[in-house]
Amino acid sequence: MHLEERIEKSETKQFKVVFPNTLNDHETLFGGVAMKWMDEVAYITAVRFSRLKMVTISTDKIKFKHAIKPGTIAEITGKVVNMDKFKLDIQVEIWVENMHSYDRLKAVESVFTFAAINENGKLISLKDMRLEPEFN
């Protein structure tokens, strides 16, 4: 499988409704909840891409561009944007849609960096990825 195809097949999207239990005292989505959602999508993307055990090793500056209000739909997307021998970078964005209109905007973005580990928790090369998928 070519790298481009592998990247495309590993793109991940999750949707969440912003409910009151996820809000801060400003009545917008709590930043920690947004970061949790982003890390989860980044992790799923990294595993789907590599089919290895992956761990988060860093995040780029998380940019909160717009407040996320209750009663909106959040789409969290993850896509591989860079890979070297030991690290995998995942671009993660949160897009927000109004439930009752077609308004949509990018609210949060960052790059999450992952590394592959073995069963003993030791760093391994991404060259150990399976070359072919087990299924389509």
Domains of the chain: 3-121 (3.10.129.10)
d(CA 2, CA 68): 37
Percent pLDDT > 70 in the chain is: 94
**Helix %, strand %, coil % of the chain (to 5):** 25, 40, 35
Strands (E), the chain: 12-17, 53-59, 63-64, 72-83, 87-98, 104-117, 123-124
Helix (H, G, I), strand (E, B) or coil at 35: helix
The answer to whether residue 32 scores a pLDDT higher than 60 is yes
What does each C-alpha distance from 124 to 10, 18, 34, 80 come to in angstroms? Answer: 20, 37, 29, 18
Q: Which residues on neighbouring strands pair with residue 117, listed in sequence order?
A: 53, 123
Provide the pLDDT for residue 123.
Answer: 95
Q: What is the mean pLDDT of the chain?
A: 93
What confidence tens digit (pLDDT) does each residue in 49-91 have? Answer: 999 999 999 999 999 999 999 999 999 999 999 999 999 999 9
Overall average pLDDT of the 34-41 stretch: 98
The answer to whether residue 12 scores a pLDDT higher than 70 is yes
What does each C-alpha distance from 75 to 4, 32, 124 come to in angstroms? Answer: 23, 16, 32
